[in-house]
Structure formats: C-alpha cells, structure tokens
Amino acid sequence: MSENITVAGVSVDTRHWIGGRRVASTSTFTDHSPIDGSALGEIARGGPAEAEAAVAAARDAFPGWAATSRAERARILHAIADGVEKRIEELAIVETTDNGALLRSHRRGVMPRVAHNFRFFADWLLGLGHEDFDTRGHTNHVSWDPAGPCVLITPWNAPLMLATWKVAPALAAGDTVVLKPAEWSPLTASLLADIAAEAGLPAGVLNVVQGYGSEIGDALTSHPDVRRISFTGSVPTARRIAGSAAANLTPLSLELGGKSPLLVFADADLDLAVDLAVEQYDNAGQVCLAATRLLVEEPVAEEFTRRFVEKATALRQGDPREESTDIGPNIHPRQLEKIDGFVRRALAQGARAVIGGHRNEGQYYAPTLLTDVAQDAEIVQEEVFGPVLTLQTFTGEDEAVRLANDTRFGLAATVATGDRERAERVTARLVAGTVWVNCFFVRDLQAPFGGSRQSGVGREGGTWSFDFYCDLKNTVTAPKGWNQDHG
C-alpha cells in the first residue's frame, strides 16, 4: 500500500502510529469522501497484532511519562496546541473532505477548539489539587496519580475535536494513549500523531491505530494492560465495549446517543426559539447533543411552525467547502440509508413531512420536519443522527416535562422561555446532563459533560476528567512517629 495520500493538497500518512514510528498492515480499507463519494485512499487496517503492539508501546512508555513533571507535561501539551494552530487550514480541509462537515466551521470554530483542548487541560493540570484537611490531628492529602495506558475510541461526526477532548486530559494526567478513530473519518488523527511527535511527545505516549471495531476495537478494549477506556458513540457499541472491559474491571467513560428536546413556551422570544430550532440541523444533524424533538406550547405552535419553515427552507445544502453552504452531506451511504429508513417508516405510520422527508442527490438528505407523530413512535424515541426533527405540542409545564423526559436518553435539553422562574422550575425537573436556557451549544471545558440514563456513564471536563484518567489517592499522615534525628 502507498504510505501517503494527498487530500486537498495535504499529505496524510495512512499507516498506524505505534511506539513513535509508522507501522503498516497487511490489509487496508478504503476511505471515501462523503462530499462526492470519491475514494481518498487505502488506510492501514489493524487487527489484534496492531492492538497488542500499540498497548505494549503505551505500557512501556507509561513509567517515563507518568514520572514527567506536571510543568513539562503542560509545556508539551502547549507545544501540541501550537502545532495545531500552525496547521489549522490543513486540518480543516482534510477533515471537511473526510467527514463532510462545513469548512467554514472547521476553520473558525472546530480546529481552534482542538488547540484549546490541549491548552485548557495543560493549564488545569498545573492548578489541580485539593486542600489538605485534618482528622483528629492527622493530615489528609489527596493526589491524582496517573492510571496507565488508556484506549480512546472516537466517533466520526467531529473526529479531531472529540478525539482531543479525550487525548488532552489523558496526556495531561500522565497516562499514555492508544487512540482508535472511526473508520469513516480517520485522517486527522494521523495528522495529530505527526503534530504530537513534532511537539516533542515521547515515543509510545500517543499511539494511533486504524481499523474496524470488530477487528481491532475488541482486542483493545479487552486487553488486560489497559487501565481506562473512553468511548463516544452508539449504545449498542457501548454495550459491547462494556462487556469486553468487564473481565478486567477496566473503568469506562461512555458518551452515547441522545434524543434531546427543545421546549418552547408561549412566553419565549419566538425568533430566538426558531433560531435555536433551525440550529439543530448543524453538521447535517450529526450531533449527539442536537435537540431533535421540538416541543412547542399550543398557543404559539402555528406561528412557530410558520417562522421555522421560512427560516429552514432558506438553508443552502451543498458542497461543505463553499462558504455559502449551511448543510453538507451525511457521512456514509449506510448512514444515509438509516436516516431515510427512519423517515419512510414514520411517514408510513402517519407522520407528515412539513419540509423535506426525502434524499437529495448524492449523500445529502433534505432538512426534514415531521409532525403528527405519537410519543411512542420510533421517530420520537430513537436517535436518527441526521437532519430530521419532529414537532409536538403541549399544554403547560407538566406535560412539557413529561414529554421531554419520556425517552431512554438523557444527554441534553434546551428550554426557550421568557420567564426566569419557569426556567428554574422546568430545568430542575429535566433529566439531562446539560440544559441550555435560551441558548444552545455553549460549552466550557471546566463544566461537567456527560449523559444520564442510556446517554452515558460518567462526566468529563475540568477536574472530572482528571478524576477519570487518574487513580485518586488519599494519604493520611500521623502527627507522631517521626525520627527526630532525621528531621
């Protein structure tokens, strides 16, 4: 296989990165661009042998990295951030070509956030601590000790940003990493390996292996030398990973799917509420946090729908590399078929497509709004992960909360209301890891992030990330027993 491919003028190595060097595999898989379906290149397809080599490299590198001072770890993480910032344009165009998200978003928001992930956790590490406290004259001292090799499995919808959301705190904590990117969007993870090496990260501290979950993922998650597993993706895959990890009691962090609601009360600013609703089509609906269930109070439902349709039909769908495009393609033909299947079944069961409800040419699905849907319908209960929203109406807070909480998920929720007291009452009753009031997708890395119910296990962000990636230790010291001759 060719060791490098050229994507939009950028050279990308298609081999694994293990122990500080590039490693080929005997087999490959083809990576396609969702923009036009073209083949981007053949990617090294790892299996148990590559998994074993990557975990061994991480295990061997762990003692040295764990012993590295906090200040030096932070310095290297800042150097990685510098490298990302120097290559923002390259990273942006490669990721847009690979996963179809908007180039303008990658340039202005996503790739700068990648650099910020490293800077934030580098700085948080330097301030990480807990005040000593006294127990009957004894001193308690809490410390965060590096845990060991970590396996990080990341999704295809925001490949590099979500990968570094895990990689940065793991490295800051003193752990070593085996990163497995999604097979539908592997390219920027390979570039990250180059950037980390150029920044001076020691060999074996970050390893990147590519391939299918059934071939290399299972070998990674069941490995007895792995001390932490973090996964972002679907509930069925999470169950499989949890089963693999169970034999070794390997701690898990799982950020899974969602079926989040947007509650629009009659006292809300309707223009704001409509803007929030249309924003849910971002990244062609391929956002786990997306509020795909629009719940609108009956007195304003007709007017809300009219304004929504006006704004949503003005969105431009097309080539994500063009500045004027609002919605790009969906990631893969299989995902497109899944989205269309959800919609076709909903329509057959009596739902009405106010807008959309069909494929467009290529891997593009029309922004869709479905009404006349029952609460127990598949389209209301299951995550579609495409540009498909449903609209239901409610009367009063009790019904709004009941509908909002009536799924197996609990990742996020959004509330639009002009009444502060109502916002406080409603948000207190919602089952969700994150609730936004009159806003959406405002995220701070120091805040806890994760889901309730089947939307996930655990929280990451700020100290919560270090709590996961470290072994917490409490050292209790008695006031007596010291040999005075030795001070």
DSSP string for residues in 21-45? EEE--S-EEEEE-TTT--EEEEEE-
Type of residue at 6 = T
What was the pLDDT predicted at 44? 97
468 in a domain, yes or no? Answer: yes
pLDDT bin (cut points 50, 70, 90) of residue 3 is confident
CB 335 within 8 A of CB 359: no
Q: Answer yes or no: is pLDDT of 453 > 50.
A: yes
Q: Is residue 443 part of a domain?
A: no
Residues 198-232: pLDDT tens digits? 999 999 999 999 999 989 999 999 999 999 999 99
User: Looking at 95, 288, 383, 460, which residue is catalytic?
Assistant: 288
CA dist 317 and 307 (Å) reads 19
Angstrom distance (rounded) from CA 143 to CA 474: 6
Catalytic residue among 95, 255, 297, 383: 255
Residues 286 and 328 in one domain: yes
Please give the order of strands across the beta sheet that includes 470-477. Answer: 133-135, 138-146, 470-477
CB 458 within 8 A of CB 467: no
Determine whether 255 is an active site residue: yes
| Mean pLDDT within 388-410 | 98
* pTM for the model: 0.95
Q: What is the mean pLDDT of the segment spanning 293-308?
A: 98
What confidence tier does 483 reach under pLDDT thresholds 50, 70, 90?
Answer: confident
Rg (CA), the chain: 24
Extract the tokens encoding 52: 């074993």
**Does residue 218 sit within a domain?**
yes
Same domain, 238 and 320: no
In a domain, 157, yes or no: yes
- Together in a domain, 178 and 163: yes
424 pLDDT more than 70: yes
CA distance 76 to 126: 13
What pLDDT digit, counting tens, does each position of 106-158 carry? 999 999 999 999 999 999 999 999 999 999 999 999 999 999 999 999 999 99
Confidence of residue 482 (pLDDT cuts 50, 70, 90): confident
Query: Does residue 182 sit in the same domain as residue 98?
Result: yes
As a whole number of angstroms, the distance between CA 127 and CA 446 comes to: 12
Read off the DSSP letter of residue 221.
H
Mean pLDDT, residues 431-453 taken together: 95
pLDDT at 487: 47
The C-alpha atoms of residue 239 and residue 223 are separated, in whole angstroms, by: 16
What is the rounded CA–CA span in Å between residue 193 and residue 145?
A: 25
> Does some domain include residue 479?
no
Same domain, 465 and 433: no
CB 261 within 8 A of CB 404: yes
- Crossing angle of helices 159-172 and 462-469, in 10° steps, is 70
CB 431 within 8 A of CB 401: no
Q: Do 276 and 407 sit in the same domain of this protein? A: yes
Shared domain for 330 and 355, answered yes or no, is: yes
Q: Nearest 5 degrees, angle CA 30-CA 34-CA 35?
A: 130
CA angle 323, 329, 335 (to 5 degrees): 160
Please say if the pLDDT value at position 177 is more than 90.
Answer: yes
CATH number assigned to the domain comprising residue 307: 3.40.309.10
Together in a domain, 327 and 384: yes
CA 159 – CA 153 distance, rounded (Å): 10
Tell whether 99 is covered by a domain. yes
Q: Containing H/E element for 67?
A: helix 48-67
Residue 53 burial (CB count, 10 A): 18
Together in a domain, 128 and 236: yes
**470: annotated active-site residue:** no
pLDDT value for 247 = 93
Indicate whether 290 and 328 sit together in one domain.
yes
pLDDT tops 80 at residue 398: yes
Domain encompassing residue 460: 4-256+451-474
- Is the per-residue pLDDT at 10 higher than 80? yes
Q: Does a structural domain hold residue 482?
A: no
> CATH code at 77?
3.40.605.10
Q: Is the residue at 18 inside a domain? A: yes
Query: 426 and 468 share a domain?
Result: no
Q: How many domains does the chain have?
A: 2
Q: Is the pLDDT of residue 485 over 80?
A: no
Cα–Cα distances in Å, from 134 out to 87, 123, 467, 487? 49, 28, 22, 22
The pLDDT of 429-450, averaged and rounded, is 95
Residue 2 has pLDDT above 70, yes or no: no
Length of the chain in terms of residues written: 487
Instruction: Please indicate, yes or no, whether residues 427 and 455 belong to a single structural domain of this protein.
Output: no
- pLDDT tens digits for range 334-387: 999 999 999 999 999 999 999 999 999 999 999 999 999 999 999 999 999 999
Q: What is the pLDDT of residues 305-336, one digit of tens each?
A: 999 999 999 999 999 999 999 999 999 999 99
